[in-house]
Chains A and B, each alone.
Chain A
Amino acid sequence: MRQLLQLLVRQPLSLVGVSILALFGLVAILAPYVAPFDPWERGTPMLPPSGSHLLGTNDIGQDLFSELLYGARTSLFIAFFASVASTAIGVSLGLLSGYYSRLGFVAMRVVDVFLLVPRFPLIILIATLLTPSVWNLILIFVIFGWPRTTRIIRSEVLSQRNREYVDGVHMLGARDPYIIRRYVFPQVLPLALVQLVLEASHVILAESGLSFLGLGDPAAKSWGAMLHYAFEYPSIFISDVWVRWMLPPGACITLAVLALVFLGHAWEEWANPRLKQWAPARM
C-alpha cells in the first residue's frame, strides 16, 4: 500500500490516471443522485445548453448531461467486470499452462487461434448474433480478452518455475498447488495487474465501438450509444450541435482510456524494474 502511494507521488501520470478514474468511478456510482434529469425521460427536443440542461437535450428531448453521467456507469461497469473476469481466467490458465508443459502446449494452440483471428470484426459478428445486453457484451469481451493475458502470464511462469528456489521448495516436499500459489503467483501478480488495467482500456474502446455501431445494449445509456444517435441526427455536422452532443462522450471515452493507459504504464514500470529510468544517485 505504501509502495502504491509512493508510486503515485513519483509518477505524475499515474496520479492523473487515478484521479480521472476516481472521478469517473464516483460519477458512475452516484449517477442517479447527481444527474439533474432521468436520461430516459423525453422532454423538449434540441434545447440549447442552459442552467438546467447543461448540455441541452437531444433529438428526442433527453438531457445530454444526464446521459453522459449514466454513460460512465455502463462503460465502467462493463470494463470492470469484463477485465476482471478475463484477467482471472487468463491468470489461472497462464499459471497452469506455464507450470504443466503439456497443458501449456494445448492451451497455447487455442490462444494462437484466438490471437490470429482479427478481434474486432469477430466481436461485431458475435454481437449481432447474440441478443444485445450488458452481460452478453461482457461475455464477448471475456471470450476475446483471456488469450493475451494467458500467453503473457505463461511466459513469465515459464521463467519463474525454473528458478532454483522453486526446485528448493520442491525438495522440501511441497505440492504443486502450494508452489503455484506461494511461489509463482506472487511473481506474476504485478504483471497481472498491468494486464487488468490495459484490458479494461481495450474493453472501454470495444464497448464504445459496438454501441456506436448500434450493437450495444439499447436499454443502457453509454457513451458509444450517444455517439451512435448523434451520428444519426441529420444535421449534426452543419450546425453547432456536435459540440455539445458528440464532443463530450468522445472526450469521456478518450479520457477514460488515457487514464487506464497512464495507470497501466506506471504499473508496468513498477513491475518491471528494467524499464525504470534511473536517476543519478544523490550525494
Chain B
Amino acid sequence: MSCLDIAGLRVCFATPEGLVRAVDGVDLTVGDNEILGLVGETGCGKTVLGLSIMRLLPRNATMEGEIHYNGLSLFDLDEEAMRNIRGKEIAMMLQNPSTSLNPVMRIQDQVTESVLAHNKVRKREAKARSLEFLRFVGIPADRVRDYPHEFSGGMRQRAALAMAMACGPSLVIADEPTKMLDGPRKVQILALIQRMQQESKASVLFITHDLLAAFTVCHRIAVMYAGEIVELATPGELSQHPLHPYAQGLLESVPRRGLKPIAGASPSLVDLPSGCRFHPRCPVALPACHSSHPVMCEAVAGHFVRCLRHGPSGSS
C-alpha cells in the first residue's frame, strides 16, 4: 500500500477576480519509503497541494477529490483527528527558514515542543531526544540554546528539519527546503533529507522548483504546470528523455544546459487556456492542442505524460 494517495484533487480559491483553480485534478501517489519530487514554477500550485494534504488552506478554499493517507481518508476526518495527524503522521517543512521558526523561542525549546506535541514523555526525556535530532542535523550542542536570529539560513533550515522529524512522521512534506540557501548549504540539506528518509523509513513529498535538486534526491519526479501534473517519471528517465515540452523546457533552462528560458509567462489560474494548458507557450504545439485537453497516459513503462503528441486527448 502506498503512503499517500491523492485522487482527483481540485482546490479552488474564491477571490474577487474570480475562481482561482490552484490545483486542478491531480492524481498522485507517494509510495512507502519514497521521495517523490514535485517540480514546477512558482504559482503552479505546488504549495497549495502540500497545504491541502495538511488541510490547512485558507477559509476561501474549496477542496474536491480524495486524499488517502495509509488508507485513511483525510477529508473525512474531523478536526481533532486531523490535528493528531499533523506533525505526528504528516509533518511539513516550510519554505522560508528565516520566518518559519519562532523568533522568541530557543531552538532546542522549539524542537522539544515538537517532540512533546504528540509523545507522552517527560520534559527531560523530550529535551534529550531533541538534542539527538539536532545532533543528527549537525547543530553543535553549544548552539542549541541560541535563538533563531543567531543562526545562519542553513542552520535554521536544518533546525526546521529536526522539528519536522521530531514527532517521527511517516510522511514529510518538504516545501522548497532549498529555496533560500546557497549552493553548499543546499547540498547539505539535500543530503540530510536523504539520510533522514533512509534512517526513519519515512516517505517524503519534496516540493521544489529546483530541477537539479529534485534529480539528486528523488525516486520519482512529478512535473506540475498550471495546477496539473504534466509528467511523471524517474529522475533518470526525465533527465534523459523528457516527453512533455514543458519538462523539456525546464531542462533546457538549467544553467548546465545553456540557461534557455521558456518563452511566455505562466498562465493565470483564473483564466486558463483552452485545450492543453501549455499550448500558448509550446514550441511544438499542434492545431489540436488549442481545443482538446490531453489526459495522462503511460508513454513508456513507468513514464507518464499529459501531451497530445504522446497520447489521446480527453474532453476539451
In the complex, which of the residues A167, A175, A186 has the most CB atoms of chain B within 10 Å of its own CB atom?
A167
**Residues A163 and B99 in contact in the complex (CB < 8 Å), given A171-B54, A186-B104:** yes
In the complex, which residues of chain A have a beta carbon less than 8 angstroms from the beta carbon of B92? Answer: 168, 171
Is B226 part of the binding interface, using a Cβ–Cβ cutoff of 8 Å?
no
Bound CA span A182–B231, Å: 43
In the complex, which of the residues A163, A170, A173, A186 has the most CB atoms of chain B within 10 Å of its own CB atom?
A173
The answer on a CB contact under 8 Å between A183 and B84 is: no
Considering only residues 147-183 of chain A, those with a C-beta below 8 Å from chain B are 163-165, 167-175, 182-183
Partner of A165, one of B91, B101, B118: B101
Is B40 part of the binding interface, using a Cβ–Cβ cutoff of 8 Å?
no
In the complex, which residues of chain B have a beta carbon less than 8 angstroms from the beta carbon of A183? Answer: 102
Considering only residues 55-99 of chain B, those with a C-beta below 8 Å from chain A are 56, 83-88, 91-92, 94, 96, 99
With CB as the reference atom, state the residue of chain A lying closest to B109: A182
The answer on a CB contact under 8 Å between A171 and B96 is: no
The answer on a CB contact under 8 Å between A168 and B101 is: yes
Bound CA span A217–B117, Å: 52
Bound CA span A173–B273, Å: 38
Partner of A173, one of B96, B99, B101, B118: B118
Is B26 part of the binding interface, using a Cβ–Cβ cutoff of 8 Å?
no
Is A92 part of the binding interface, using a Cβ–Cβ cutoff of 8 Å?
no
Instruction: Quote the shortest CB–CB distance from B80 to chain A (angstroms).
Output: 9
Is A11 part of the binding interface, using a Cβ–Cβ cutoff of 8 Å?
no
Instruction: Quote the shortest CB–CB distance from A161 to chain B (angstroms).
Output: 13
With CB as the reference atom, state the residue of chain B lying closest to A170: B56
The answer on a CB contact under 8 Å between B83 and A175 is: yes
Is B163 part of the binding interface, using a Cβ–Cβ cutoff of 8 Å?
yes
In the complex, which residues of chain A have a beta carbon less than 8 angstroms from the beta carbon of B56? Answer: 167, 170-171
The answer on a CB contact under 8 Å between B85 and A169 is: no
In the complex, which residues of chain A have a beta carbon less than 8 angstroms from the beta carbon of B84? Answer: 173
Is A187 part of the binding interface, using a Cβ–Cβ cutoff of 8 Å?
yes
The answer on a CB contact under 8 Å between B114 and A164 is: no
In the complex, which residues of chain A have a beta carbon less than 8 angstroms from the beta carbon of B103? Answer: 165
**Residues A173 and B102 in contact in the complex (CB < 8 Å), given A164-B96, A167-B94, A168-B94:** no
In the complex, which residues of chain B have a beta carbon less than 8 angstroms from the beta carbon of A175? Answer: 83
The answer on a CB contact under 8 Å between A172 and B101 is: no
Bound CA span A32–B293, Å: 90
Instruction: Quote the shortest CB–CB distance from B288 to chain A (angstroms).
Output: 43
Partner of B87, one of A164, A173, A182: A173
Is B238 part of the binding interface, using a Cβ–Cβ cutoff of 8 Å?
no
Bound CA span A182–B110, Å: 11
The answer on a CB contact under 8 Å between A171 and B99 is: no
Task: Please give the number of chain A residues whose Cβ is less than 8 angstroms from any Cβ of chain B in the complex.
Answer: 16
Bound CA span A167–B163, Å: 13
Partner of A164, one of B83, B91, B99, B117: B99
Partner of A171, one of B91, B101, B102, B118: B91
Bound CA span A167–B99, Å: 10
Is B100 part of the binding interface, using a Cβ–Cβ cutoff of 8 Å?
yes
In the complex, which residues of chain B have a beta carbon less than 8 angstroms from the beta carbon of A164? Answer: 94, 96, 99-100
Bound CA span A122–B86, Å: 50
Bound CA span A186–B106, Å: 14
Is B233 part of the binding interface, using a Cβ–Cβ cutoff of 8 Å?
no
In the complex, which of the residues A167, A168, A174 has the most CB atoms of chain B within 10 Å of its own CB atom?
A168
The answer on a CB contact under 8 Å between A172 and B87 is: yes
With CB as the reference atom, state the residue of chain B lying closest to A163: B99
In the complex, which residues of chain B have a beta carbon less than 8 angstroms from the beta carbon of A171? Answer: 54, 56, 86-87, 91-92, 94
The answer on a CB contact under 8 Å between B104 and A187 is: yes
With CB as the reference atom, state the residue of chain B lying closest to A166: B102
In the complex, which residues of chain A have a beta carbon less than 8 angstroms from the beta carbon of B113? Answer: 169, 172, 182
The answer on a CB contact under 8 Å between B117 and A174 is: yes
Is B167 part of the binding interface, using a Cβ–Cβ cutoff of 8 Å?
yes
Instruction: Quote the shortest CB–CB distance from A150 to chain B (angstroms).
Output: 23
The answer on a CB contact under 8 Å between A172 and B99 is: no
Bound CA span A174–B79, Å: 12
**Residues A172 and B167 in contact in the complex (CB < 8 Å), given A164-B94, A164-B96:** yes
Considering only residues 152-200 of chain B, those with a C-beta below 8 Å from chain A are 160, 163, 167
In the complex, which of the residues A174, A175, A186, A187 has the most CB atoms of chain B within 10 Å of its own CB atom?
A174
Bound CA span A273–B54, Å: 36
In the complex, which residues of chain A have a beta carbon less than 8 angstroms from the beta carbon of B163? Answer: 168, 172
**Residues A172 and B94 in contact in the complex (CB < 8 Å), given A165-B100, A167-B56:** no
The answer on a CB contact under 8 Å between A173 and B100 is: no
Residues of A within 8 A of B (CB): 163-165, 167-175, 182-183, 186-187
Return 9 A-B CB contacts under 8 Å, by A number: A165-B103, A168-B92, A171-B54, A172-B86, A172-B113, A172-B114, A172-B163, A173-B86, A173-B88
Residues of B within 8 A of A (CB): 54, 56, 83-88, 91-92, 94, 96, 99-104, 113-114, 117-118, 160, 163, 167
The 5 closest A-B pairs by CB, nearest first: A172-B87, A173-B87, A173-B86, A164-B99, A171-B92
